[in-house]
Amino acid sequence: MKLLEEKIRKDGKVFEGNILKVDSFVNHQIDVKFMNEIGKEFKRLFENEEVTKILTIEASGIGIACIVAQYFDVPVLFAKKAKTVNIAGDVYTSKVESFTHKRVYDIIVSKEFLHAGDKVLIIDDFLAQGSALCGLIKLIKDANATVVGAGIVIEKAYQAGGKLVRDMGVRVESLAKIQSMSPNGTIEFVD
Amino acid sequence: MKLLEEKIRKDGKVFEGNILKVDSFVNHQIDVKFMNEIGKEFKRLFENEEVTKILTIEASGIGIACIVAQYFDVPVLFAKKAKTVNIAGDVYTSKVESFTHKRVYDIIVSKEFLHAGDKVLIIDDFLAQGSALCGLIKLIKDANATVVGAGIVIEKAYQAGGKLVRDMGVRVESLAKIQSMSPNGTIEFVD
């Protein structure tokens, strides 16, 4: 998506340690008008799929997922990072490793909101190692629901996650695929 | 907002310990179509105000804020719960007490995205003791920006937060004000 690549080049900031900050429009401040363009693009890409639910993960996926969901006319479900072991009610759980925060945490969704027969589109802001995406896929499979695919805003294509998930047979559509980036500000995208 | 009161009566669940669960449409699964009705209502209530930014707090405020922001045509900024002390760059901070999770945590917003001259509408899902709302107001004041008001989906009107914040001179508009509720399912709203 050219518009997104231009926006990342213009407003993204690259820092040492493989960090791309897009917090002016994606994951701290959210450019809601721009997110509507993202929503239209995901709708175009997945328009032949029947989608009954959009699944994302807190926190930065939620805003994007809600805007995208308007184009599919379905509810959003966001996986929560479990804060306590004592969760009321029945939940599906999986483990996600955060490389940014260097820890493993449990994510949960209530069984009440994910059912066999659901056709689930996953939406998230970033795909790098793929840990969050694999965790979300596991939740969907545990519910005997169907993974329609994953719509990712920015994929770090030089990391392992994209191949890992596509090799599982899951359709992954990333609107911007970064081939390389460096702290001097150079960002190269996959053609 | 009658539509919201009906929805809470129909889909909300009251549990022991002053807990109202609305996670089928507000803060786990999100009914995006219904949130658009909420967005229209906040726009109607604040239509005479100039709003330059919507501020909320992760995680459950984000989805609502993004939908609401579409009616004001402004970006959303969400305060993050600080995970580490070493935050890169300059931030405004305040402390918020979570009564649900029985802990105090720091919230932050980047100074880059909140400026003197901003006219900020706060959006959140719940108002009870008012700790999150006071924390957000402090961030805005620290930035020398203006608090236009707070748009709350559900206020527990029998708790102290609403009076506390209104007594500070902040306009608070809550779309549903709960007067009382009990685990047998009875929910009474303020007229």
pLDDT tens, B124-148? 999 999 999 999 999 999 999 999 9
Report the distance separating Cα A20 and Cα A127, nearest Å: 12
Pairing of strands B53-57, B119-127: parallel
Quote the pLDDT of residue A44. 98
Is the pLDDT confidence value at B85 over 90?
Answer: no
pLDDT tier for residue A65 given thresholds of 50, 70 and 90: very high
Residue B59, SS3 per DSSP: coil
Query: What CATH architecture does domain B2-189 belong to?
Result: 3-Layer(aba) Sandwich (3.40)
Q: What is the ipTM of this complex?
A: 0.95
Mean pLDDT of all residues in chain B? Answer: 94
Residues of A in contact with B31 (CB under 8 A): 75
Interchain CB contact of B86 with A (< 8 Å): no
Is the pLDDT confidence value at A89 over 90?
Answer: no
Give mean pLDDT, residues A137-158: 98
Interchain CB contact of B87 with A (< 8 Å): no
Quote the pLDDT of residue B93. 94
- Out of B28, B33, B63, closest to residue A63 by CB: B63
Mean pLDDT of all residues in chain A? Answer: 94
Question: What secondary structure, in 3-state letters, does B8-58 show?
Answer: HHHHCEEECCCEEECCCCCCCEECHHHHHHHHHHHHHHCCCCCCCEEEEEC
pLDDT tier for residue B102 given thresholds of 50, 70 and 90: confident
To which residue do tokens 């984000």 refer? B62
Question: Given an 8 Å threshold on Cβ–Cβ distance, is B84 in contact with A75?
Answer: no
The answer to whether the Cα torsion of A22, A26, A29, A33 is positive or negative is: positive
Q: How many CB atoms sit inside 10 A of residue A65's CB?
A: 31
pLDDT tier for residue B165 given thresholds of 50, 70 and 90: very high
User: CATH fold of A2-182, please?
Assistant: Rossmann fold (3.40.50)
Domain boundaries, chain B: 2-189
**What pLDDT digit, counting tens, does each position of B28-77 carry?**
999 999 999 999 999 999 999 999 999 999 999 999 999 999 999 999 99
**What pLDDT digit, counting tens, does each position of A52-61 carry?**
999 999 999 9
Residues of B in contact with A28 (CB under 8 A): 77-78, 80, 109-110, 113
Interchain CB contact of A37 with B (< 8 Å): no
In chain B, the residue whose alpha carbon lies closest to the alpha carbon of A75 is B31
Pairing of strands A53-57, A29-30: unpaired
Would you call the peptide bond into A59 cis, given omega within 30 degrees of 0 as the criterion?
Answer: yes
Closest CA to A80 of A100, A58, A61, A96: A58
Give mean pLDDT, residues A21-35: 97
The answer to whether the Cα torsion of B126, B41, B176, B162 is positive or negative is: positive
B129 by Cβ neighbours in 10 Å (0-12 / 13-18 / 19+) ranks as: middle
Quote the pLDDT of residue A88. 56
Model confidence, pTM: 0.96
Is the pLDDT confidence value at A99 over 90?
Answer: no
Residue positions counted in chain A:
191
Is the pLDDT confidence value at B99 over 80?
Answer: no
Lowest mean pLDDT among A137-146, B100-109, B155-164: B100-109
Structure tokens at A98: 């955060």
Quote the pLDDT of residue B146. 98
The DSSP code for B82 is: P
How close is the nearest chain B Cα to the Cα of A18, in Å?
15
Per the CB < 8 A criterion, the answer to whether A94 and A62 are in contact is no
